[in-house]
Structure 1
Amino acid sequence: MLEDFERGRVNAFFRRITSTMPVADQPSSLVITHLLAGRPPFLEGVARISEVAAVLPKPRSINEATLRQISSSMQVDRLDRTQLADPEQAIAYVESRAAGRDLVLLDVGGYWAPALEHLHHHFSGRLLGVVEDTENGHQRYASLDKIPVPVFSVARSPLKDPEDYLVGQSVVFSTEALVRTRDDILNGRPACVIGYGKLGRSIAAMLHARHVAVTVYDIDPVRRVHAVSQGYRTAPTLTEALSGAGIVVCATGNMSLREEDFGRIANGAYIASVTSSDDELELSALNGLYARTAIEPNVTRYSRVGHYFYVLADGNAVNFLHGASVGAFILLVQAEILAALGSLTANTHEPGIQEITPELRQSIAATWLTYFDEVS
């Protein structure tokens, strides 16, 4: 928990970031977010440049004290991916919260993507656009046949690189912590990292630093070349990558392991994910095929005759079990989200994937250094 002076510094940072953004004719916003301990100052920043119609916390990343705090000043609704993926249910919900208003959707994981076209055409107000935080969500919007509104993505921003690197650290930390609850350790267990994007690179590096042998698999051969250049063994197929791996970390943001892949997992291996289980692991396909047994809190054994493995955190992001903290570096990403929200409020943009300007990013970085670079 932040001390008062630290909280004051964060609040001052967000006030500086939002001070140049428009305040007249504020749009409404619907905010999907991780409702973790440090999130209130960010949400207060959102409220300075928009009228927050509702906060929708991601179910597996809710801090109860933060939930109580935010509920006292903002509408908080339950986040249901099935509801938002259905065009009729999505429009009914949006109308219930922001009918007739200018509206911006803040997203973490592409929740609004399936119904976006319907919302654009049938919402009684005006949908100004979407701001998306994650690579998984970026891919969901990019895969749409037609993107009807501007979608500002921060997923591939250079300001997100520090967060991604530190998230990789936290994933390995939490994976090791869960393995140790079974009086087991990572050492001596070869690891398979599926996905060699920014998170996968960090995870591979953190495992290597713990003297764990790492094999990388990515469907992109260019990324496999990068992995080879950085000293890792790679595999041309997922089957070969999984062979003999005692730790499997899924870091694609898409479906890493499908039903047929689980049969190739080595006996006794641990499986960890960096995102929601329904995005990364097809665990539902194992119903009736494997018996599930809770061995320790957040460690589940899947077993059938002659085969067993362990799934950590029910296949969800393991690092959220320990707060998923990346320190003040998360504020860079949150500030870019605010800048994208402000840009949608102040200007008209073409439909499609958008990013804020390099000049805005430099301004955010310079402001962050003013508040959080302890050396200066």
Structure 2
Amino acid sequence: MSETAYPPVSAHLDDVEAARTEGRRKMDWAAQHMPILEALREEFEADKPLSGQRIAMAMHVEAKTANLVELLALGGAEVTITGCNPLSTHDDVSAALDTHENITSYAVRGVDEEGYYAAIDAALEINPTITVDDGMDMVAAIHEDHPELLESIVGGCEETTTGVHRLRAMDADGALEYPVFAVNDTPMKTLFDNVHGTGESSLATIAMTTNLSYAGKNVVVAGYGYCGRGVAKKAAGQNANVIVTEVDPRKALEAHMEGYEVLPMREAAAKADVIITTTGNRDVVVEEHFEVMNDGVLLANAGHFDIEIDLDALDELAVDRYEARDGVEAYELADGRRLNVLAEGRLVNLASPIALGHPVEVMDQSFGVQAACVRELAENGDAYDAGVHDVPDELDRDIASIKLDAEGVDHDTLSDTQAEYLDSWDHGT
């Protein structure tokens, strides 16, 4: 596929053994709090459901993700992985993964754009049968640059909102050539990862990065999807005054009826102490908004790519730029106002220097669904046509049951009579 293969992570590090030791320590800590992956690990090691599969992944390479990667390898697969964001990789975890005989990790923190896509190409050298993506960059690379790989690919999984949006657009154009599970849209992901994971990790990272409180501050949340709901709820719980901006009238109404102030971004920006974007779209915060912001405002992205805040426009307005704190870049404007951008406008909960991503317990659920979907593709991939597919409800419920069992939580089940009633059409009032 390329004349010179991009080297794995070990070639990029000075002290590989120290990195591997520290990466394994992080993975072991996370594994203690991931009962779903632990239960699946026993099944995968015993049954080897992924024997013969070659899995190429583009994910946020940190301790929680690493336990998913190792699970797939223990299930019999050969796995390659690279990053899905240039600033979210933990090099020590990437190095620890690379020690497994069935895993090759190309993920390196801080690579430039050329290195980022070269690593994706290198991961695809495996000639994958299954892909696992977070943002759809790998699926796009296959279709645009390596269409010869399509013949051997059984299917794929997509982790995040932005990736699913891109895939659905691709599918609508008739351009998606293999089946992909929209893991992001299934309840065990959406209701927990997006709401609790994004809400808690984004706010925690911003607070730790800045050493500032939310209490009494005007926190503007751009977008009121599941991620926005989580950020708004958690910010309100820390005594912030939450303002929501939305383009969808139904979501705006929902935010209004939840008790939040709803404003257009231009009005919200003028009141903001903190602005957090959660839309997955571009140009959410732009020049007209910068012009009315208060001195010292914090700007963070909890959506996906680094295009929600128009940093090019902000750079043109600025007369000076400097690092105010680790992970905080101040843009000083001609009138003396300083607008502070966190994590270079990338995912704040993953790209900030101290970022750890979503809580371990939350990602255990999401990655449990990922693993179940990979197994489904390996066993029944031929049953799915090219296009975007919902995760089978039975798989999603199974992951929830594993989690409840681990937590010692019991719950009701339908009686046969109730189940029959729900499935019938001829029972009247």
Scaled by the length of structure 2, the TM-score of the pair is 0.76
1:304 maps onto 2:333 in alignment: yes
1:246 maps onto 2:273 in alignment: yes
Alignment of 1:1-376 (within 5 A): 1=26, 2=28, 6=32, 12-16=38-42, 18=44, 23=49, 26-49=52-75, 51-57=77-83, 58-73=85-100, 74-78=103-107, 93=122, 96-98=125-127, 103-118=129-144, 121-123=147-149, 125-144=151-170, 145-146=173-174, 147-160=176-189, 161-167=191-197, 168-180=199-211, 184-235=212-263, 237-255=264-282, 256-276=284-304, 278-290=306-318, 291-306=320-335, 307-320=337-350, 321-347=354-380, 348=382, 349-371=384-406, 373-374=407-408
**What displacement does 1:5 show?**
8.8
Distance change in 2, residues 1:92/1:294 (3 Å): closer
Distance change in 2, residues 1:84/1:122 (3 Å): farther
Tell me whether 318-327 or 216-225 shows the greater mean CA deviation: 318-327
Distance change in 2, residues 1:206/1:95 (3 Å): closer
- Spell out, residue by residue over 1:92-134, the C-alpha distance to the aligned partner (whole angstroms, 9 max, x if none): 6466332xxx521110112134344346742275122221000
Unaligned runs of 5+ in 2: 1-25, 411-429
Q: Which secondary structure does the structure 2 equivalent of 1:59 belong to?
A: coil
Alignment length, in residue pairs?
Answer: 366
Letter in 1 for 2:266: T
Distance, in Å, in 1 between the alignment partners of 2:112 and 2:47 is: 31
User: Is the CA contact (8 Å cut-off) linking 1:259 and 1:283 kept in structure 2?
Assistant: no
Letter in 2 for 1:233: E
Tell me whether 20-29 or 154-163 shows the greater mean CA deviation: 20-29
Q: Which secondary structure does the structure 1 equivalent of 2:243 belong to?
A: strand
Distance change in 2, residues 1:82/1:260 (3 Å): farther
Q: Which has the higher strand share?
A: 1
User: Is the CA contact (8 Å cut-off) linking 1:10 and 1:41 kept in structure 2?
Assistant: no
- Spell out, residue by residue over 1:314-352, the C-alpha distance to the aligned partner (whole angstroms, 9 max, x if none): 222222334124232311111111121122222221111
**What displacement does 1:189 show?**
2.5
Q: Which secondary structure does the structure 1 equivalent of 2:60 belong to?
A: strand
**What displacement does 1:273 show?**
1.4
The percent of aligned pairs where both chains have the same amino acid is 21
Q: Which residue does the alignment assign to 2:427?
A: none
Distance change in 2, residues 1:270/1:5 (3 Å): closer
Distance, in Å, in 2 between the alignment partners of 1:152 and 1:81 is: 29
Distance, in Å, in 2 between the alignment partners of 1:108 and 1:55 is: 11
Unaligned runs of 5+ in 1: none
Tell me whether 110-119 or 321-330 shows the greater mean CA deviation: 110-119
**What displacement does 1:172 show?**
1.4
Distance, in Å, in 2 between the alignment partners of 1:344 and 1:94 is: 19
Q: Which secondary structure does the structure 2 equivalent of 1:143 belong to?
A: helix
Letter in 2 for 1:70: L
User: Is the CA contact (8 Å cut-off) linking 1:187 and 1:210 kept in structure 2?
Assistant: yes
Letter in 1 for 2:193: E
- Spell out, residue by residue over 1:173-201, the C-alpha distance to the aligned partner (whole angstroms, 9 max, x if none): 22222332xxx433332121101011111
**What displacement does 1:25 show?**
5.7
Q: Which secondary structure does the structure 2 equivalent of 1:278 belong to?
A: coil
Larger radius of gyration: 2
Distance, in Å, in 1 between the alignment partners of 2:340 and 2:240 is: 18
Q: Which secondary structure does the structure 2 equivalent of 1:56 belong to?
A: strand
Tell me whether 61-70 or 45-54 shows the greater mean CA deviation: 45-54
Distance, in Å, in 1 between the alignment partners of 2:34 and 2:220 is: 42
